[in-house]
Structure 1
Amino acid sequence: MCGRYTITVTLEELMLRYDVYYKVPSKYSPKYNVAPGQLVMAIVYDGEKNRLGELRWGLIPEWAKDEKIAYQTINARAESLTDKPAFRTSFQRKRCLIPADSFYEWKGKGKQKQPMRIMLKSKNIFSIAGLYDTWVSPEGTRISTCTVVTTAANELVADIHERMPVILRPESEATWLDRRITNAEALSSLLKPYPADEMLAYPVSSRVGNVRNDDESCVEELNLLL
């Protein structure tokens, strides 16, 4: 499961990273504790250019009777995207990138769980594979939502949690976004665990367990020897 992540860069850095050259209509600010149910920054491709905007985390398929399903669809397992009705159509033609610079997982069991921040050794922005959809409520309100695609953990993350978000290689991002590509086998080949030797993890404060805590202290390394 991936239930928390960070995106702590500036809007300008995001726009440069994803070749977005128009004014982004959002009240963006760096986030140190992004949680399901919140609006998150995402990239979609409109056939001509990348578009950066907000989607609500927790996918609501267009056919859903109500939005409560979003509580069950914050993650989508890469191994079963073609099998699950909630994700099948989006996997074929509604794929997005979710920019991040780290994600959190909890190590241990029971009350002794230790939150860990996991990121690239380069500390660069990376793209999580996502799916999106637009749902229209009975009252006519349009809600655009997304889910994070997950895969089996690599060797580093496996010591913390059995799953991890799919982190796409930069050279694979355009393929994932291209709606003309619908071959499930070709797309599924992109959904592999990111190499463990290019990542690092360190303990952080239990403050990240509360979604109301969203500041730089969430990402500070915790000295467990103290």
Structure 2
Amino acid sequence: MVKAVNPVPNVAPSWNIAPSQQAMAVRRHPKTGERHLDLLTWGFVPHWADDLKTERKPINARAETVATSPMFRAAFAHNRCLVPADAYYEWQMTTDGKQPFAFARQDGAPMMLAGLWDVWQGAGGARLRSFTLITTSANEIARPIHGRMPVIVEAGDWPLWLGDEEGDPGELLQPAGDEVLKAWPVSCRVNSPANDDVQLVEERW
């Protein structure tokens, strides 16, 4: 269990978080070392960005290049976070179009996805706290559906990923074990962010 010192953000549950929307993330305070659970916007904006309107806002960072990419390397070194999720969606190309699938842990526990965060501040004082998710090559469960998957950080590795412990966080950027996840087809209603209800994660027959 990730213990945060601040109150849980007062936000309704979501079954279909889309880019540009907010999601909860666990971060380590750089001065106190305490863990905070905060709402961040999905779509990474580095602190050095000049124009918020024209800046690209990547929702994913590749594990293979995240430590060296000019966009992400500072955040990878200092601003790593965990993004809790009960499930995530991916799409498989079929002869009839794209079929969405849901992925979740087989043990029923929430996933902790590896992310990076940063804070951008405009000239007028406006602040944007944003994040991106790190993806890696797919494991045997995910590969038939999509070639990439988010990095899932196991509980024993949370201290290393958040910076509580010394070590190389790059070693954690691996596909989840084949026994960790399960996948099932879901309704194409998930394709629209306007649809956001628990029925989205029910299996499509």
Superposed pair shares fold, TM > 0.5: yes
Q: Compare the two structures and name the one with the higher helix fraction.
A: 1
Q: How is 1:4-153 mapped onto 2 (pairs within 5 angstroms)? A: 17-24=1-8, 26-46=9-29, 47-68=32-53, 71-109=56-94, 112-153=97-138
Give the count of matched residue pairs.
Answer: 203
Alpha-carbon distance in 2 for matches of 1:134, 1:118: 30
1:27-57 CA deviation, whole Å, 9 max, x = no partner? 3221100111011100011244211111111
Q: 1:107 to 1:167 in 2, by over 3 A?
A: same
Check conservation: 1:42, 1:54, Cα contact below 8 A: yes
TM-score between both structures, scaled by the size of structure 2: 0.92
Check conservation: 1:57, 1:146, Cα contact below 8 A: yes
Q: Post-superposition shift, 1:147?
A: 0.4
Match of residue 192 from structure 1: 174
Check conservation: 1:93, 1:179, Cα contact below 8 A: no
TM-score between both structures, scaled by the size of structure 1: 0.84
Unaligned runs of 5+ residues in structure 1 are 1-16
Q: How is 1:171-210 mapped onto 2 (pairs within 5 angstroms)? A: 171-178=156-163, 181=166, 186-210=168-192
Q: Which runs of 4+ in 1 moved over 6 A?
A: none
1:45-79 CA deviation, whole Å, 9 max, x = no partner? 12442111111111101111122466541100011
What code does the residue aligned with 1:214 have?
D
Unaligned runs of 5+ residues in structure 2 are none
RMSD: 1.8
Alpha-carbon distance in 2 for matches of 1:20, 1:84: 30
Q: Post-superposition shift, 1:193?
A: 0.2
Q: 1:193 to 1:108 in 2, by over 3 A?
A: same
Q: Post-superposition shift, 1:180?
A: 7.0
Structure 2 residue matching 1:32: 3-state secondary structure: coil
What code does the residue aligned with 1:95 have?
R
